[in-house]
């Protein structure tokens, strides 16, 4: 049986981080990417869901994730 892993995704406005952990909490892989952020007014920030997903995929690529 393959090792069991847990993937965590932190999708914030300024950065998306992706980490993969073993069941004991050891980090196996990690990566991050910066999504495009729209700032229409001071103090406002928004990101399209498609941009967040693309940033997740980019973070996985940067982290060397593979199936």
- Per run of 10 residues, the mean pLDDT along the chain (length 67 residues) is 82 90 92 92 91 90 78
- Give pLDDT, residue 9: 93
- Give pLDDT, residue 1: 36
- Give pLDDT, residue 62: 85
- Give pLDDT, residue 2: 58
pTM: 0.76
Listed in sequence order, the residues at least 6 apart from 15 whose beta carbon sits closer than 8 Å to its beta carbon are 32, 33, 34, 35
What residues does each domain of the chain span? 5-62
> What is the strand order of the sheet 5-11 is part of?
5-11, 16-22, 27-33
- Give pLDDT, residue 8: 93
CA 63 to centroid of chain Cα atoms: 10
CA atoms of 67 and 28, how far apart (whole Å): 13
- Residue for token digits 């990566």? 31
- Residue for token digits 């847990």? 6
């Amino acid at each position: 049986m393959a090792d069991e892993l847990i993937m965590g995704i932190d999708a914030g406005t300024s950065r998306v981080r992706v980490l993969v952990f073993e069941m004991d909490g050891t980090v196996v892989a990690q990566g991050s990417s910066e999504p495009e952020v729209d700032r229409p007014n001071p103090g406002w920030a928004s990101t399209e869901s498609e941009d967040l997903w693309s940033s997740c995929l980019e973070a996985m690529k940067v982290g060397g994730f593979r199936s």
